[in-house]
Structure 1
Amino acid sequence: MQESNRRTFIKKLALGGAVISAVPHQLMAAKTATIFDKNSGGHKKLFRTSYTGEQLQRIAFPIGGMGAGMFCLEGTGAISHLSIRHRPEMFFEPCVFAAIRIKGKKNGTRILEQNVPAWKKFGQKNAALGGTDGSHWGLPRFRHAAFEAQFPFASITLTDPQMPLEVSLKGWSPFVPSETDDSSLPVGALEYTFKNMGTEPEEYIFSYNAKNVIAEPKGNSSIRSNNNGFTLSMDGIDDNPEKQGYFTVYTDDEEPVVKHAWFRGFRRDALSMLWKTLGEDEIKTTAALATDAPGASLFIPFKLAPGELRTFKLMFAWYFPETVLREGDSHPAYTEQQTSVSGPKYYKPWYSVQFKNIDEVAHYWKKNYVRLYEQSTLFKKAFFDSTLPSEVLEAVSANLSILKSPTILRQHDGRLWAWEGCGDDVGSCWGSCTHVWNYAQALPHLFPDMERSFRETEFHENQDEEGHQGHRANLPISPLRYNYHMKAADGQLGGIMKVYRDWRICGDTAWLRAIYPKVKASMDYCIRVWDPKKLGVMEGDQLNTYDQAFWGPNGMCMSIYLGALKAMICMGRFFKDDVRIYEGIFEKAKAYLEQHLFNGAYFVQEINWPGLTDKAEKGDPRFVGSYTADELEIVRKEGPKYQYGDGCLSDGILGSWLSEVCGLGNPVNPEKVKSHLLSVYKYNQKSTLHNHGNTQRATYANGEEAGLVLCSWPKGNRLSLPFYYCDEVWTGVEYQVASHLIFTDRLEEGLEIVRACRSRYDGSIRNPFNEYEYGHWYARSLSSYSLLQALTGIRYDAVDNTLFIDSKIGDFTAFIATATGFGQVHFFDGEPALQVFYGDIVVEKIVISGKEMA
């Protein structure tokens, strides 16, 4: 780390007479938002405060690297969701735990966790049989815990009236915006701090204990020694090389005592003998075994005077170099020529190319621990030392955990590939799905090179010579086999806008110049397929994020079409290309959207499919399956199934929002956009879902909970079978609508939606760090990042080195991330200041609310 990055400083830049200057710290007092908590007798709950009591029940905070796997730190201090084999393992709660022994004290041994949450005790798999063999749930724990999180750090305080000892635990893993590789490491850390709360000096033994949780049938498992710890090992075999893996635990303490092999015996004997050892005042080492060691422990004896503190750092690293993971269908020409030159047959993680083995990973982690801690702390300070509403900080930061979840994979060449979310045991919906990742706005700002790797895949491997772009990418990434179901209007059009956004963020015009012909081919393909008459009216079937095709012009896809055309016009003009055809279509499309699809309150759909009945009766391949007689009767009366027609769709003007966050500005009449959003707020935002019927996936929100439903029909004419997610609540859409409302100066309505969403994720029922849709850690929820831009108007253009500000909340201090550094923007009394925490941010021009500073 360069010395210039070690200090926080204020950039004072002369800008044609204007100076960006420091802002007095006393003007930066944080604002606190509250919500009404029905379960607290009328008391108000503060956002961004400690989680205690029932709110600890479901907390599981991801620790790991981007595309490298994770484990979770639960609200009690337990480890769970151990997902390090390149797949989600949501119910893998390994027998891995820390313990403390107060020497000479009766009942002086405790697991360093709070008591097991009540929901785990009954109704879970095997609970009625007594739980999983080897579980440590029955061992004594601390009575009380409090959990706090400031991503990427989570802290837990443990207390117990019977223990004259206060314990604090901090879990973290590196997260440094713009430093992609250091943020993609297969590592994590737990730091335990002990404070003697008694009146006499005490002697203690701290231990960390792990069953060999990576051992699998058919293969040689062992536990070997490493420097100041132990490594759980599993050898691969010829038929199953993917079984090979390593998980290492070690400390920076120079004198740990390591027990490399627990007692070998029947069923629970190993844990029984370990508990006996943990209750003793003397510790003994055991040598490593060549095979079949049940588990290992490291012990650190220490002393504390009254009031004295001591901290121990535990570092974790893992290494699983091979997989049998493969998704999608490669183009036949590629499959025939595939050799080692083309790339591996199966997914191979990026870190396995960067590091030869687990020892290299562990060495790098230990060597760079302090530097990465300091840099991650800089991000934490830059983000959280803010005056923005705390519910917004919570919503944005909680969803950054998606980037550490198994939703993300990073393949051998460094490119990202992603699921939409995580199932319990497998990824959910493959292929970096373009129309889901349209919503995700965190990655392009925090790790712009990784976001651009999505564009590289979309416009190269996923796009054919005609410009047809598939919306799902193969794994390993390779040229697609194209078919009808790979043609998604919202995803392909959205990608054009995202190219423009990514170019302005990175400032790399050479990158844009190289990809521009492919982008133009994509735009021209979209026109040929969906607007062949060039009238600015999208026709035919428009596959979209609702897993159905909308037939005929509609506000959602038409607004995205407008944004894509505007992006093409802007990029084409930059290259002095002839964009008259795009300009003409843009004007026609804008007129049609505003004049024909706006019903006076909100934007709607014109359902239109010529020859519908004939094609339906003949079994058109674009239907999913064939129609029954009952379905055909509906089709003849109403048109194709799964449309929205006269409905008020929460995503009904999605392209306007996407244009805003891509730096293109709103392409649609602003008053009509605002009217649509206020209609969505009026009709779709429910303070309670008690009277809301939902035959679809109701676990996202139901009962007395508040939420924004996807669609309603306030003027009647609800279709018999509208698109089949219409009554659901998706957090990613909630944040999209909330930020869009704020963009249009409707601050309170937007924040109400955010508060309602986050109140469902308070830890008592749902994990605050796992917003789910069709899977855990669902990518669409990264739309929450757009709230930062909506509130402040902060946007950095690296092409022109311009800082944009357009505050909707008056004075503020807020986070900014660019391709070259991050920090804070301060805005007080109309004067901006830029404080760079890490890297460099060059500003040559400032635009405030559309006006350039003199």
Structure 2
Amino acid sequence: RIYRGAHLDAISFTVGGIGTGCIQMNGKAERAIWQIFNNFDGGPLPNSFFAMAAEAPGKEPVVRVLQTTPAGPFPPMQDLSFRGEYPFAWYTLHDKESSVTVALEAYNPFIPLDAKNSAIPCAIFNITLENTAKHPVTGAILALQQNAVGYDGTSPILANRNRGYGGNRNRILREGPATLLRMTADIPLTAPTWGDMVLFTPEVATAIPGVANLQAARDALVAALNEPPAIPHDEAGPSPAGQTLDGAIIVPFRMRPDERRTVSFVLTWSFPNARHGGEIAGWEHTGNMYHNWWQDALDVAKYLLANLPKIEHDTRLYHDLFYQTNLPWWLKDRITSQTAILRSKTCFWAADGYFGAWEGCQPNGGCCAGNCTHVWHYAQAHARLFPSIARRMREETFAYQKPDGSLPHRHPSLPPAFDGQCGDLLGAYREHLCSPDGAWLAALWPKVRKAMEHTISHWDPDEDGVLAGAQWNTLDGELGGSTSWMGTLYLAALEACARMAELNGDTASASRYRRIRASGAIRQNQTLWNGEYYIQIPDPQPRQDYGTGCEIDQVLGEWWARQVGIPNAYPVERVRSALKSLIRYNFQPDFHGITQVPRKFVADDDAGMQMITWPHGPRPVPTILYGDEVMTGFEYSAAGAMLQHGLLREALMVIHAVSNRYDGRKRTNLTPGGFASWGYSGNPFGDDECGKFYARAMSIWSALLAAQGFVYDGPEGTIGFQPVWQPHQHVSFFTAAEGWGVFRQNRSGGVQRSKIELAWGKLFLRSVLLQLPRAQIRRQPQVLLNRRPIPAEAHSSGETLIIHLKTPITMEAGSSIEIVVS
């Protein structure tokens, strides 16, 4: 998608590492919001931009700031277009007075399974220039940067003045050919604002430690067209109290006609004295994880100078392979765009290793504290891309387990939420599947078993598989009685725990859990099915119920189950009917005349799927909260379930409606406040719910898993693909425990070719699962490892083909395994 005009108004693209803070770039190519100072309040940092001067023979130089808003004496570029495929942002800037076209790329390293190199406190900018004239052009690129050490991230900055500034120092350093501008300040090491920043380019350049003002910066840029300006000193400062310094790096260039040239700049930062969390007593952590790896911003810069070629290669490899996926372009953008949430202030990574998670972001703080389990269990992207982070989050929750086995729905000690409790049990199984061996689960299993026992004894004491009593949940209320929403989560958690029990030699618990699941599947279907969809049977005591309503999460447990290889507990045709009912009753082509309370997230002209409707009767009183709202994380999980159950058109319609709502146009007149969308919406990179960059939206990753029919068990060495999207010609990106790559499948001329290409890391394999078309003649397949036959045995179960390798293998990056069935 190319964003232009009004579609640029809501762009806010996060550039920064996981848990490092970020810089948000807007649709004008401005670095509009700076959140690298352990701050939520964000605004622009003055005198921090890129500019260009270009001179044709016999003409006056054209000077422009590389954005569409002016910066003092620097006029803006006339217009731009934007393309974002996370983690990359690309701006193409145009100005009719210049023959040099400019493309600005911004990103931070993002490498699946490599959490450290995806958590580097830096922003990387590549400026690509092209001379479109028939004559040579002389020019220079200016990177101007304010030394913001001492800034608290909240108080106003006027030019170079702020109450926290003073004693700021800039120093020019050389590391081989690289030119570095290091920014520090004379403040105590224990001060909250202590730290440093480094701006560098990997090539020889002119660096100015102290730039008096913007006019002086412009003069230096123009002077560099003829010869490098004389810089008498490599240091500047200390600055007076209340003031700081601006520094600059200038890279000259000369280009022949049609020549292209790329100039790179990297900004690194380190502000280690962070205080995270709050809002809930006991949920406070200090420091930043990145400070355990790099002692300061200069250390980060040196690390990148030594390692950036490999890190950039791997980041581009991930992007390029993901975008080889042949899903619709807008769906690929939806899936990748929500990973921006991991780089937002929704997440922090403390010095003690604690990975902290708000639900979303308010304007001046996190929104809803405590690693909320009933929200984060929807999120799937982080667990597939960074399994080590997911395991860490699971360990954190189980570390706060209470003596009765319950898990707090908010760290450290809030009471359990039923959906969050089941989500943690299912998450534990997912994290095991995404591990290279069973050691992690073996250590956690006693706590997992204790949590399952609490779930049974507290909500299903008669062990018939039907829930009763108050069930606090993600709609911030106590649901009562039996529902398919909570019921399917319970049944999925029972089977997940049964499997984990077997893996740890506890066959008695496994048998008991499966007996309860079997009973619950029968009883729930007998009592909750109304012929179209699943309803609620409330407790005698009214709670925050929905009764006969058609609820968006009514088969949420089946969605979860399919992602971890657990078969349906409910009849497939009933599940399909329930999901079709969501389209019939809950999906709205627009919201004119439709009430959205208590919060309005969708503009009247846009489409979306409401949480609950009551097509067959009045809503109960009291009723469940948020039933009239529209929230993307729920829409994505429902659409994922539709894909899992073969409802492709319905699923794509739901997700496409969300894509259209977040198309870069700014929707206003929505519910204001930090617990909503702040009154506006439309940013493609991080959806709204209870705040911006809301974690539940990472449920969209389930659409990829469902489309490719992904099956995976890392310790067992099993991987499978049973695509529902274009099985005759399918390409999709996948991640495993220790590696990632692309799956390709082609069916033509009576032959099915299925190929797993490993691009990064390694992949342990014992068996491969594939799906065959109904008309397929099943013969012994040919299995090729790097084009050479290897011995294997195969058998079919229905339409599933199971290939067992006679000798397990460990694939390395660059290798492939292909299965050919004639």
1: CA distance, partners of 2:168 / 2:663? 41
8 Å contact kept, 1:195–1:310 = yes
Pair 466,415 (structure 1): closer, same or farther in 2 beyond 3 Å: same
Pair 105,713 (structure 1): closer, same or farther in 2 beyond 3 Å: farther
Q: Which residue of 515, 528, 531 corresponds with 1:584?
A: 515
Q: Which residue of 457, 463, 488 corresponds with 1:559?
A: 488
AA matched with 1:821: G
- Aligned match of 1:76: 28
8 Å contact kept, 2:147–2:170 = no
TM-score (norm 1): 0.82
Structure holding more strand per residue: 2
8 Å contact kept, 1:230–1:248 = yes
Is 2:51 aligned against 1:88? no
Is 2:715 aligned against 1:776? no
2: CA distance, partners of 1:599 / 1:416? 43
Structure holding more helix per residue: 1
- Aligned match of 1:492: 421
AA matched with 2:249: L
- In the TM superposition, residue 279 of structure 1 has moved relative to its aligned partner by 5.1
8 Å contact kept, 1:245–1:319 = yes
SS at structure 1 position matched to 2:252: strand
8 Å contact kept, 1:710–1:725 = yes
- In the TM superposition, residue 466 of structure 1 has moved relative to its aligned partner by 1.6
Q: Which residue of 230, 244, 250 corresponds with 2:194?
A: 244
Deviations 1:22-61 (A, max 9, x none): xxxxxxxxxxxxxxxxxxxxxxxxxxx3222222222222
Is 2:269 aligned against 1:321? no
Is 2:679 aligned against 1:725? no
SS at structure 1 position matched to 2:286: coil
- In the TM superposition, residue 704 of structure 1 has moved relative to its aligned partner by 0.8
- Aligned match of 1:19: none
2: CA distance, partners of 1:289 / 1:219? 12
In the TM superposition, what are the counterparts of 1:655-694 in structure 2 within 5 Å? 655-694=557-596
8 Å contact kept, 1:65–1:184 = yes
Q: Which residue of 538, 558, 582 corresponds with 1:607?
A: 538
SS at structure 2 position matched to 1:261: coil
- Aligned match of 2:168: 222
8 Å contact kept, 1:569–1:583 = yes
Is 2:206 aligned against 1:257? yes
- Aligned match of 1:183: 118
- Aligned match of 1:101: 53
- In the TM superposition, residue 278 of structure 1 has moved relative to its aligned partner by 4.5
2: CA distance, partners of 1:852 / 1:739? 24
1: CA distance, partners of 2:10 / 2:336? 17
Is 2:242 aligned against 1:271? no
1: CA distance, partners of 2:304 / 2:568? 45
- In the TM superposition, residue 202 of structure 1 has moved relative to its aligned partner by 2.3
Deviations 1:121-176 (A, max 9, x none): xxxxxxxxxxxxxxx37841111212222322222111111111111111111111
Is 2:552 aligned against 1:650? yes
Q: Which residue of 158, 173, 177 corresponds with 2:93?
A: 158
Q: Which residue of 349, 365, 369 corresponds with 2:308?
A: 369
AA matched with 1:671: E
Is 2:331 aligned against 1:392? yes
| Count of aligned pairs between the two proteins | 727
Pair 236,92 (structure 1): closer, same or farther in 2 beyond 3 Å: same
- In the TM superposition, residue 214 of structure 1 has moved relative to its aligned partner by 4.2
8 Å contact kept, 2:128–2:260 = yes
SS at structure 1 position matched to 2:184: strand
Q: State, as a whole percentage, how many aligned pairs show the same letter.
A: 28
1: CA distance, partners of 2:599 / 2:280? 29
- In the TM superposition, residue 429 of structure 1 has moved relative to its aligned partner by 1.1
In the TM superposition, what are the counterparts of 1:313-712 in structure 2 within 5 Å? 313-327=264-278, 346-460=285-399, 462-473=400-411, 480=412, 482=413, 485-577=414-506, 578-579=508-509, 580-610=511-541, 639-640=542-543, 642-698=544-600, 700-712=601-613
Pair 94,219 (structure 1): closer, same or farther in 2 beyond 3 Å: closer
Is 2:5 aligned against 1:53? yes
Pair 423,95 (structure 1): closer, same or farther in 2 beyond 3 Å: farther
8 Å contact kept, 1:498–1:662 = no
1: CA distance, partners of 2:72 / 2:417? 48
Q: Which runs of 5+ in 2 are unaligned?
A: 152-162, 667-681, 772-796, 804-822
8 Å contact kept, 1:813–1:824 = yes
AA matched with 2:483: N
8 Å contact kept, 1:603–1:652 = yes
1: CA distance, partners of 2:540 / 2:297? 58
2: CA distance, partners of 1:593 / 1:214? 60
SS at structure 2 position matched to 1:840: strand
Q: Which residue of 733, 741, 744 corresponds with 1:823?
A: 741
Deviations 1:425-444 (A, max 9, x none): 21111121111111111122
Pair 533,691 (structure 1): closer, same or farther in 2 beyond 3 Å: same
Indicate the RMSD between aligned Cα atoms, in angstroms: 2.1
Pair 284,719 (structure 1): closer, same or farther in 2 beyond 3 Å: farther
**Structure 1 residue runs of 4 or more that deviate by more than 6 Å after TM superposition:** none
1: CA distance, partners of 2:44 / 2:369? 22
SS at structure 2 position matched to 1:178: coil
Q: Which residue of 303, 325, 329 corresponds with 2:254?
A: 303
1: CA distance, partners of 2:644 / 2:316? 30
Q: Which runs of 5+ in 1 are unaligned?
A: 1-48, 117-135, 264-269, 336-344, 474-479, 611-638
AA matched with 1:437: W
Pair 420,274 (structure 1): closer, same or farther in 2 beyond 3 Å: same
1: CA distance, partners of 2:442 / 2:761? 26
- Aligned match of 1:293: 244
- Aligned match of 1:838: 760
1: CA distance, partners of 2:150 / 2:504? 57
2: CA distance, partners of 1:210 / 1:575? 56
